[in-house]
Structure 1
Amino acid sequence: MSNEAAREKLIFALDMGRGFDEAMSWVRLLTGHVGLFKVGKEAFTRFGPRLVEEIQKAGSRVFLDLKFHDIPNTVARAAEGAVEMGVAMFNVHALGGMSMMAETAKAVRETARKRELPEPVVLGVTVLTSLNDDDLRALGFSCSTAELVLRLARMARDAGLSGVVASAQDVEAIRKACGEGFAIVTPGIRGSARVAGDDQKRVLTAEEAIRRGSDYLVVGRPIQTAEDPVAAADELCREIARGLTAG
């Protein structure tokens, strides 16, 4: 598997809010070394659509990670805006329910067709990787994280979404339940060394996640905190390539 194919699967989490110029310095540094830049709540709240536009002008693609979760009509209208913004990927919370996800999928298809724009990958967020079984019990759920993830993944598939965001530990079960054409984006990817202050609980390395069947990997701190971020990104691409070969 080529490094280029592996690189398309690597998403860098551009979730720093300290300044627009700093954010764009990461884009300039890592363009050509990662496949997409994830713009989350921190960065988007501070910098807005301008950041998305500048990333696209730099020749890179954007994963808009705002996790829309509201009544169906509101999320569908927000999805239309994401399509018009030209993002390659965005997400909604699967816990918003079947109607919300189905209306979103329909709005994306219709807007892309009317505007003659590419359809973005639309993902359902299952269970945040910062949550484990104890956290779910505290929230009043009677099922495990694995059971809830699978239930939400099936619902997202049936609603017409492109895939889900899920922990690598849940990938094999999702793949079996939802099929090969269902995209799985995995956050919480780490290197062999733990990162100080890490709040993720269900994590795996890049190679392990790809071997289990993840399609895209979201990586933040292991690149941000590395002495040589470019070298760290390139090493993650090599890990992805090894995982693809093994798979």
Structure 2
Amino acid sequence: MQRPLIIALDFKDRNEVDEFLSHFREEKLFVKVGMELFYQEGPSIISHIKQLGHDIFLDLKLHDIPNTVKQAMRGLAKLDVDLVNVHAAGGKKMMTAAIEGLIEGTPAGKKRPNCIAVTQLTSTSQEMVQDELLIDKNLDDVVLHYAKLAKESGLDGVVCSTHEVEMLNEKIGDSFITVTPGIRMKDDSAYDQTRIATPDQAHELGSTAIVVGRSITKQQNPYEAYLHVKKSWEGIEG
């Protein structure tokens, strides 16, 4: 996997997506389609974006019994997306089933989508882990444990915060994909995220890919904002 800048298409419908993508006619993008957009538009939004030439991270965070996840992944594999994910909290049997479903559902001659596991959301704090999730462990330990389970289950990597990347690269290896959301420019609001970082920090810490939403999508000139974030991510400017 290259080190892409993934843009989160957190829009309510196809019209908003098309309006946004119209700023990038000459640019091949890697975009994230999440629950908000997919549940409104369905699989047709995937084929539409693919026809425009963009790569897709389908971010549905599957978390269910193993057989349900397996059958769901069989269907998602037919959509020609490039990256999908599950919740690591579903356990090894569920994650293994996800890979089995992807393999079975991928059309002949095609490469199966990469599959990564969410360790802990970037909106999760140490206090939330202890007080709400009743996990009596340090947040870093939880992330590392989930990442190891994902690796043992045959997954390609994890979703984590930038602050855990160095630890995961050291303990698991830098060939294990680390996709890091919660990316903000220095002057941007943190919004509902807690474990955040700038693109240049993610670059220095060794993230495989970053996911950027409002720092690009909510700007007056999305293309200029994209180029600014991209330069920072590539280590050209901070």
Deviates more, 1:154-163 or 1:74-83: 74-83
Residue 240 of structure 1, CA deviation: 1.6
Which structure carries more helix by proportion? 1
Q: Is the 8 A contact 1:39 1:63 kept in 2?
A: yes
Describe the shift of the 1:111–1:208 C-alpha distance in structure 2 as closer, same or farther (beyond 3 A): same
Partner of 2:58: 64
Count of aligned pairs between the two proteins = 237
Partner of 1:79: 73
Distance 2:88 2:119 in 1: 6
RMSD in angstroms over aligned alpha carbons? 2.0
Q: Could you say what secondary structure the match of 2:33 adopts?
A: strand
- Percent of paired sites with the same residue: 34
1:213 aligned onto 2:203: no
191, 195, 200: which is aligned to 1:198? 191
Residue 39 of structure 1, CA deviation: 0.5
153, 156, 161: which is aligned to 2:155? 161
Cα deviation 1:39-93 (Å, max 9, x = unaligned):
1010011111111110001111111000000001110111111110000001000
Give structure 2 stretches of 5+ with no counterpart.
none
Partner of 1:15: 10
1:152 aligned onto 2:152: no
Residue 33 of structure 1, CA deviation: 4.4
Distance 2:161 2:127 in 1: 16
Describe the shift of the 1:26–1:128 C-alpha distance in structure 2 as closer, same or farther (beyond 3 A): same
1:133 aligned onto 2:126: yes
1:55 aligned onto 2:45: no
Q: Could you say what secondary structure the match of 2:224 adopts?
A: helix
Q: What TM-score, normalized by structure 1, do the two folds share?
A: 0.90
Give structure 1 stretches of 5+ with no counterpart.
none
* Structure 1 runs, 4 residues or longer, greater than 3 Å off: 30-35
Residue 236 of structure 1, CA deviation: 1.2
Distance 1:130 1:96 in 2: 19
Partner of 2:37: 43
After the TM superposition, which residues 162-201 of structure 1 pair with which residues of structure 2 at under 5 Å, given as runs? 162-195=156-189, 198-201=191-194
Residue 105 of structure 1, CA deviation: 1.4
Distance 1:50 1:181 in 2: 33
Distance 1:35 1:199 in 2: 25
Q: Is the 8 A contact 1:33 1:230 kept in 2?
A: no
Residue 110 of structure 1, CA deviation: 3.5
Distance 1:21 1:35 in 2: 18
Describe the shift of the 1:78–1:169 C-alpha distance in structure 2 as closer, same or farther (beyond 3 A): same
Distance 1:22 1:168 in 2: 29
Cα deviation 1:197-221 (Å, max 9, x = unaligned):
7000000001111211101100001
Partner of 2:116: 123
Q: What TM-score, normalized by structure 2, do the two folds share?
A: 0.94
Residue 109 of structure 1, CA deviation: 2.5
Q: Is the 8 A contact 1:108 1:119 kept in 2?
A: yes
Deviates more, 1:160-169 or 1:34-43: 34-43
Q: Is the 8 A contact 1:10 1:34 kept in 2?
A: no
